[in-house]
Amino acid sequence: MSARSTSYLERARTQEALAVVRGVLARLGPVTLKDVATRLEPLPVELRQDGVALVLASLVRQGGAKDADRKRAGSIIADWLSQWLVSSCPSRPLGAGGAGDVGGASLAAAFTRLESADEAQWGAATEEAIAFAACLKVFAKAMTEAP
């Protein structure tokens, strides 16, 4: 990959991460964003250790009825990651997304595409998820600590 396409991908990743974090802050407020930031903290390491498919699944099922905020944070992050991998990421590690790939549909598409991914696609999706999660983590933390 050339330096130009790498910087384009990094800029696109950063812009998308900032936009989705700002969106949560605007829609759901600082309490939810704090839950998201807390859940994002270990995410890059989890992605590296467990892979994108297992982490997406654990994010979706996280928490329980007693812990609705944590479950919501996990679902929000799973939606962000799957939307990025399936539809928004310029490098399309899991292939091009369809018009219906938004929200939960992206999550289903991500699982479907991961199921049939070859080793190169799987590795690219995991590496891109790690990079995107790292951006999300930085912005979420910064916005929860901002005055």
pTM: 0.83
**What CATH number does domain 3-145 carry, 3.40.720.10, 1.10.10.1100, 1.10.520.30, 3.40.50.720?**
1.10.520.30
SS3 content of the chain, % helix, strand, coil (to 5): 80, 0, 20
- Count how many Cα atoms sit within 13 Å of the Cα of residue 105 in the half-sphere of its side chain: 7
- Please tell me the predicted confidence (pLDDT) of residue 29: 78
Mean pLDDT of 16-26: 89
Asked whether the predicted pLDDT for residue 64 surpasses 60, the reply is no
Parse the chain into domains and list their residue ranges.
Answer: 3-145
